[in-house]
């Protein structure tokens, strides 16, 4: 494990020596931990969820590479953040890193990967409905696309999901394109109907806002 960065002398996260490419490698990373940090959840299930997330990221980079012949992009490093208060959401991305809250993975590793769950925004709006493992797959697609978007389009002002309604959030450029990729992934991989239906509903609501604006904008 490598120390990702420190804040006021405190360890805030770590990355594996390389991005794990299998459930086995993720489990080894979680079991090994770093310095004083030890994974507090079920490392077997946690590894399965992180591998699902990685597969979502890989889907974006594989698909994008096929469409942009000869234009390869370096894949982002996945970082587990052990200090909760530096992230407002379970996932965050820039052009080189995807950060995941370790505590979120720990909590979700108590679920069965195939367990049906619902996730809502702070205001109660339903943002996901389906299996825990599919939530991580789609999150990987979303965050993977965000890294590509930032590499290709440059920096973009992002909305705070806790300070705007879901449709307006989804209508912003980075989220809109990420949502389209999630919907495509869900169709191609045959995710459950209820998961696909909610993605479709979110896209329709976001599309109405985007068309109402008359232009594409990444900031409300």
Q: Token pair for residue 84?
A: 């909760």
pLDDT value at residue 214: 37
Does position 201 have pLDDT exceeding 90, yes or no?
yes
Task: Give 178's contacts (C-beta < 8 A, 6+ positions apart).
Answer: 141, 142, 145, 146, 149
Confidence tier at 18 by pLDDT (50, 70, 90) = low
Lowest mean per-residue pLDDT among 9-18, 154-163, 166-175: 9-18
pLDDT of residue 16: 62
Tell me which residue of 69, 208, 207, 22 sits closest to 30, measured CA to CA: 22
Write down the residue that tokens 């370096």 correspond to.
74
Query: What average pLDDT does the chain have?
Result: 83
Cα–Cα distance for residue pair 105/196, rounded to 1 Å: 23
pLDDT band at 94 (very low <50, low <70, confident <90, very high): confident
pLDDT at 6: 45
- Find which of 12-21, 136-145, 205-214 is predicted with most confidence, using mean pLDDT: 136-145
In which band, very low, low, confident or very high, does the pLDDT at 132 lie, cut at 50, 70 and 90?
A: very high
pLDDT band at 17 (very low <50, low <70, confident <90, very high): low
Give the mean model confidence (pLDDT) for residues 37-62: 93
Pairing of strands 77-81, 97-101: parallel
How sure is the predictor about 141, in pLDDT bands with cuts at 50, 70 and 90?
Answer: very high
């Amino acid at each position: 494990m490598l120390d990702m960065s420190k804040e006021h002398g405190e360890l805030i996260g770590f990355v594996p020596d390389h991005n794990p490419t299998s459930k086995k490698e993720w489990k080894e990373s979680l079991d090994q931990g770093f310095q004083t940090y030890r994974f507090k959840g079920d490392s077997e299930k946690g590894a399965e969820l992180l591998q699902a997330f990685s597969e979502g990221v890989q889907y974006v980079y594989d698909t994008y590479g096929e469409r942009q012949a000869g234009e390869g992009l370096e894949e982002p490093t996945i970082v587990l953040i052990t200090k909760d208060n530096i992230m407002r959401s379970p996932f965050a991305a820039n052009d080189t890193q995807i950060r995941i809250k370790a505590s979120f993975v720990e909590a979700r590793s108590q679920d069965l990967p195939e367990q049906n769950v619902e996730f809502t925004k702070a205001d109660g709006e339903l943002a996901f409905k389906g299996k825990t493992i599919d939530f991580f797959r789609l999150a990987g697609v979303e965050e993977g696309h965000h890294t590509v978007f930032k590499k290709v389009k440059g920096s973009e002002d992002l909305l705070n999901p806790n300070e705007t309604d879901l449709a307006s959030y989804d209508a912003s450029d980075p989220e809109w394109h990420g949502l389209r990729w999630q919907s495509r992934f869900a169709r191609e991989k045959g995710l459950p109907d209820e998961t696909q239906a909610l993605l479709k509903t979110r896209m329709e609501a976001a599309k109405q806002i985007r068309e109402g604006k008359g232009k594409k904008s990444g900031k409300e």
